[in-house]
């Protein structure tokens, strides 16, 4: 069931991206909405579990996740928060490097799904909400490029398989490392959602639409947290 959902959300996001890929405003709204959801899940669900079950140095792993995402963004060109700009001068090598970074990102975030069932549902929902806008942007980028369509489909297929492979591999990781791995991923999520939410607005003006979308995404996650806690 988890594997099917992880694959389905990528395929659906890529399909919508192919159909609506020229609408960058829609993609940006999706990202902001997902960022509000993810950061709320991190603060209300994941971080309490990480700090309760992790060792005294668990915070180092959160920081390591932030630094890891900074490294990955040099490869993905910031596609995770909508900052990727396609270069027509190199439409094969750049997607290959980009997909490597995206694959590593998705593989790592899939591994904690094999751990404790206590926070699996909110964590899974966080991943699904996170993946949809990324898949939308990825699908729009790949299908509007000049690369062969079968190559674009293969890259999307590889991205769709990354988190399920991480989920499968996570079953072979010793349970005592679960909190550290989860802290690493939450550092990644924290960085991505923070960049999306707190990046500078045009002319540094108050963006009420962004605030509304963040509150909407966070509100939905908060309702889920209240329901899950009971």
For position 37, what pLDDT does the model report? 92
**Would you state the pLDDT for residue 227?**
73
- Looking at residue 92, its pLDDT comes to 47
Specify the pLDDT at position 90.
43
Write down the pLDDT at residue 204: 58
Cα–Cα distance between 108 and 94 in angstroms, integer? 22
Q: What is the pLDDT of residue 163?
A: 93
Q: Provide the token pair at 12.
A: 């659906």
Q: Which residues of the chain are under the pLDDT cut of 50?
A: 86-93
Q: What is each CA distance from 215 to 3, 33, 35, 41, 199, in whole angstroms?
A: 29, 8, 10, 13, 16
Q: What is the pLDDT of residue 68?
A: 92
> Do residues 11 and 163 lie in contact, with contact meaning Cβ atoms separated by under 8 Å?
no
């Amino acid at each position: 069931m988890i594997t099917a959902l992880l694959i389905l959300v990528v395929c659906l996001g890529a399909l919508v991206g192919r159909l609506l890929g020229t609408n960058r405003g829609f993609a940006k709204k999706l990202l902001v909405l997902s960022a509000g959801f993810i950061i709320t899940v991190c603060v209300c669900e994941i971080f309490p579990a990480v700090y309760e079950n992790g060792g005294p140095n668990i915070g180092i792993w959160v920081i390591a996740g932030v630094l890891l995402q900074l490294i990955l963004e040099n490869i993905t060109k910031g596609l995770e928060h909508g900052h990727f700009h396609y270069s027509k001068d190199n439409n094969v090598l750049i997607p290959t490097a980009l997909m490597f970074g995206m694959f590593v990102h998705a593989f790592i975030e899939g591994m904690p799904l094999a751990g404790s069932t206590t926070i699996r549902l909110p964590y899974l929902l966080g991943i699904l909400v996170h993946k949809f806008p990324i898949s939308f942007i990825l699908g729009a980028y790949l299908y509007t490029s000049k690369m062969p369509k079968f190559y674009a489909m293969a890259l999307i297929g590889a991205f769709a398989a990354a988190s399920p492979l991480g989920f499968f591999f996570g079953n072979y990781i010793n349970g005592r490392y679960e909190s550290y791995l989860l802290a690493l991923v939450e550092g990644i999520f924290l960085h991505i959602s923070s960049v999306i939410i707190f990046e500078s607005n045009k002319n540094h003006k108050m963006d009420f639409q962004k605030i509304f979308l963040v509150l909407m995404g966070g509100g939905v996650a908060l309702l889920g947290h209240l329901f899950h806690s009971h």
